[in-house]
């Protein structure tokens, strides 16, 4: 996310102008690898036409939020503390997204089957 503030904005427990905040760049990141548990049905190898269904759950870890600013207050300790408070609030709001459901439906066509 990239945002260029132009009005006044509440960050943490304080209000700042767009000039003080500058451009805000935000990211949400998950673990680089994620375990998956799933159950699948189907048989894609027999017959001319096959169908497969897979239902599962991915544990991708707790989302990590990062917010960076370019404004005149970007290195001010009070502003940084308020920005970190905002990051913590965002992480608390999205922490349940550490699990993601998966539904996969597949169709196959065996060109060599008779």
Instruction: pLDDT band for 113, please (50, 70, 90 cuts).
Output: low
Q: Read off the pLDDT of residues 25-64 as tens digits, 9 standing for 90 and up.
A: 999 999 899 999 999 998 766 778 888 899 999 999 999 9
Rounded to the nearest integer, the mean pLDDT of the chain is 89
Report the length, in residues, of the chain: 114
CA 56 to chain centre: 18
Query: What pLDDT, on a 0 to 100 scale, did the predictor assign at position 44?
Result: 63
Q: What is the pTM of this model?
A: 0.69
Q: Read off the pLDDT of residues 61-91 as tens digits, 9 standing for 90 and up.
A: 999 999 999 989 999 999 999 999 999 999 9
**b/e map 88-102, b = 16+ CB within 10 Å:** eebeeeeeeeeeeee
Distances (CA, A) of 23 to 51, 71, 84: 49, 7, 16
- How far apart (Å, rounded) are the C-alpha atoms in residues 39 and 71? 50
DSSP string for 11-50: ETTEEEEHHHH--EEEEEE--SS--EEEEEEE-SSSSSEE
Query: What pLDDT, on a 0 to 100 scale, did the predictor assign at position 100?
Result: 92
Query: What pLDDT, on a 0 to 100 scale, did the predictor assign at position 47?
Result: 75
């Amino acid at each position: 996310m990239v945002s260029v503030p132009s009005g006044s904005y509440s960050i943490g427990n304080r209000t700042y102008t767009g000039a003080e905040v500058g451009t805000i760049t935000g990211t949400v990141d998950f673990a680089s690898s994620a375990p998956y548990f799933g159950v699948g049905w189907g048989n894609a190898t027999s017959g001319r036409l096959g169908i497969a269904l897979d239902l599962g759950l991915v544990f991708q870890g707790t989302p990590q939020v990062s917010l960076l600013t370019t404004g005149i207050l970007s290195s001010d300790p009070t502003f940084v503390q308020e920005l970190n408070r905002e990051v913590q609030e965002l992480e608390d709001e999205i922490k349940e997204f550490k699990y993601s459901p998966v539904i996969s439906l597949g169709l196959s066509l065996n060109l060599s089957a008779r």
